[in-house]
Amino acid sequence: MPAPVLTLGVLALQGAFEAHAAMLRELGAEVVLVRRPAQLAELDGLVIPGGESTTFLKHLERDGFFDILQSFAQTTPTFGTCAGAILLAKDVLNPAQRSLGVMDIAIERNFYGRQNDSAILTEATSLPGGPLEMVYIRAPRIAHTGTEVTTLARRGDDPALVQQGHLLAATFHPELGHDTRGHQHFLDMVRTANTRA
Amino acid sequence: MASTNGISSNGSSNNGGSSNGSSNNGGSSNGIGSSLRLKLGLAEMLKGGVIMDVMDVDQAMIAEKAGAIAVMALERVPAMIRAQGGVARMSHPGMIKAIQKAVSIPVMAKARIGHFAEAQVLEYLAVDFIDESEVLTPADELHHIDKHAFKTPFVCGAKDLGEALRRIAEGAAMIRTKGEPGTGDVVHAVRHMRQSVSEMKALTVLSDQELYAAAKNLRAPFELVAGVARTGKLPVPNFSAGGIATPADAALMMQLGAETVFVGSGIFMKEGNIRLDVRLHDAESAALFGAKIGEPVCPEERAEAESRAKAIVDAAKDFTDPAVIARASEDCLGAMKGLAVGGIAEADMMQNRGW
């Protein structure tokens, strides 16, 4: 019996939501671009893309979106990349700013410098299939991970892809690469959560 | 970013003279060099928002707080350049650095068309995007900057598809309409966006044989023309600039196909040459005026600038929702007076700079 089609949301307030949507569709998911809090209700999981986290926060101020998104991420699989990871983190540094605070990580914005320091690196990962290509754009650094957090890939010594139960965060941009393993791993997480429910 | 988008990662010609040269094009896994992938990557992050012209730290902080996705640091916005005349050049490095320090969002800055030495300075200052801009006085009547030679991504203006593709061939990672800067009149931004979009649509129905002639007519490289014919869109993000002044202007350009809007003189200008006073009292002026440090010098004008910035950000996000545009328009305390493009002599038009 074929697996049921998953409905994945991509938060589409601003940023690289189209690239995420394209990759999720390629992997067989049904994709909803989420611009309103009410759209979260029918989703099996959500991707919060890269973009500007300050802009996301501004848009989330309206219509109680912030609180609804926070409750959603506490229970439903959510994958944050770059700015999205910043939103999921418990602590945000450089500068300190508000976040959903659902994931036990501390994250430093723009740690690796400005655009000239953006880089494409290939490093080891515990995901099956060998080293992972990681596209870093004005990337943040995960400075601390709590005991419940598993590191799946690193940039040097720093965690770059981390999981805590139903939550996944990447400081790089899997949607800009050709390697679908990050998204595939997230879809597997969503499927697992669905089976349990 | 499909491998078939026709972008060449060639960075071999070094006549731009950048010290960065073309050494960072390694790691290609799909026909696009890693340097170009990173440039397009940042452009991707900038989609769906508003990039604001700012002339000082106060304005930059207002922009960031309102939800701008990036700021363009420049000493005079186009409306002031238009009013004051003179040669408009790259901004003072000290001013760019102060803004970089003040905000966490990307900082862009403008270089004159063809002025690769200004671009080298901006690259050294680590601005996040360089705008090779017709708003400044052109430095070269024949050549645009060889943008492949830089690690920093470039955005360039275009009036039509051929111009857009010529800039992309030179290495631009983002295209914006030129419009007519500094006017607050959106009519030419609309003209340029409609022109490019209809030219792109027209390419999609042509046979391969016809595409060679189309490339000749567009005066653009065949590979890029063929790429647009396949996808119906530019291989880089397509933004809009030039005369966008109100929330409804932003919504209009986004509905016409712009993926992000640049707002120049529309937020911080009152009329002509006069800017809104958005300064906050520092220790010295607070003592002088008997005010508190950090209080606005002119609360009404600061509130007006803040309201315009925020309203345009809201409009660019929900650009198809009239309820949001109506609310944003209502929240806006006034708009720049502006200058109708119809009354500007052809020779005074900034959009005719660049080729």
**Are A51 and B313 inside 8 Å of each other by CB?**
no
Res B49: pLDDT: 96
3-state secondary structure of B166: helix
How does pLDDT run across B191-200, given as a tens digit for each residue? 999 999 999 9
Question: Could you say which of A52, A133, A135 has the minimum Cβ distance to residue B105?
Answer: A52
* Stated pTM of the model: 0.91
CA distance A141 to A107: 6
- A116 closest CB neighbour out of B151, B313, B318: B151
* B52 and B71 Cβ atoms separated by less than 8 Å: yes
State which residue of chain B sits closest to A52, comparing Cα positions: B69
Comparing CA positions, the residue from B261, B240, B265 lying closest to residue B55 is: B265
Does A168 map to a domain?
yes
Instruction: Give the pLDDT of residue B7.
Output: 53
Tell me whether residue A18 is one of the annotated catalytic residues. no
pLDDT of res. A178: 86
- Mean pLDDT for A133-152 is 97
- Block residue for tokens 């631009």: B172
Cis peptide before A2 (omega within 30 of 0): no
Q: Which residues of A touch B (CB under 8 A)?
A: 12-19, 35, 50-52, 54-55, 58-59, 82-83, 94-95, 109-110, 113-120, 133, 135, 137-138, 173, 176, 178
Cβ–Cβ of A120/B37 closer than 8 Å? yes
Cβ of B45 within 8 Å of Cβ of A114? The answer is no
- Domain range spanning residue A51? 7-196
A50 neighbourhood in chain B, CB within 8 Å: 44-45
Q: Would you state the pLDDT for residue A1?
A: 54
φ/ψ of A159, rounded to 5, equals -65, 140
Confidence at B333, pLDDT banded by 50, 70, 90: confident
- The count of structural domains within chain A is 1
For residue A119, being part of any structural domain is answered with yes
**Is A189 within a domain?**
yes
Cα–Cα distances in angstroms (integers) from residue A99 to residues A33, A108, B104, in the given order: 21, 12, 16
Question: If pLDDT is split at 50, 70 and 90, which confidence band does A19 have?
Answer: very high
Looking at chain B, which residue has its C-alpha nearest residue A84?
B45
Q: Does any domain span residue A2?
A: no
CATH code where residue A26 lies: 3.40.50.880
B3: nearest CA in chain A?
A178
* Cα-Cα-Cα-Cα dihedral sign, residues A34, A37, A38, A40: positive
Kindly report which listed range (B132-136, B148-152, B209-213, B332-336) carries the lowest average pLDDT score: B332-336
Contact between chains at B45 and A83 (C-beta distance less than 8 A): yes
Buried b vs exposed e over B283-298: b needs ≥16 C-beta within 10 Å? eeebeeeeeeeeebbe
CA B151 to chain centre: 18
Closest CA to B186 of B135, B260, B249, B258: B249
Q: Is the pLDDT of residue B5 over 90?
A: no
Dist CA B171 CA B31 (whole Å) = 15
pLDDT at B342: 85
How close A76 comes to chain B (CA, Å)?
Answer: 25
Spell out the SS3 assignment of A30-71: EEEEECCHHHHHHCCEEEECCCCHHHHHHHHCHHHHHHHHHH
pLDDT for B31 beyond 80: no
Residue of B nearest to A83 (CA): B45
Q: What integer pLDDT is reported at residue B47 of this predicted model?
A: 96
Which of residues B34 and B173 earns the better pLDDT score? B173
Three-class SS state of B72: strand
* pLDDT of res. B34: 82
Sheet architecture: strand order including A7-11: A30-34, A7-11, A45-48, A78-81, A167-170, A158-164, A150-155
How confident is the model over A122-148, as a mean pLDDT?
Answer: 96
Q: For the segment B67-124, what is each residue's pLDDT rounded down to a tens digit?
A: 999 999 999 888 888 888 899 999 999 999 999 999 999 999 999 999 999 999 999 9
Angle (CA) A94-A99-A103 rounded to 5° is: 100
Q: How far is B219 from chain A (nearest CA, A)?
A: 30
The mean predicted confidence, pLDDT, of chain A is 95
Burial class of residue A64 (count of CB atoms within 10 Å of its CB; 0-12, 13-18, 19+): exposed
Task: Tell me the one-letter amino acid at B222.
Answer: F
Question: Does some domain include residue A69?
Answer: yes
In a domain, A1, yes or no: no
Tokens of B167: 């800039």
What's the pLDDT score for residue A197?
Answer: 62
Between B355 and A157, residue with greater pLDDT: A157
Q: Report chain B residues whose CB lies below 8 A from the CB of A135.
A: 37-38, 41
Q: Which of B9, B37, B45, B127 has the most A C-beta neighbours within 10 Å, making it the best mutation to test the interface with A?
A: B45
pLDDT score at A2: 63
Q: Which of A166, A175, A183, A185 is catalytic?
A: A175
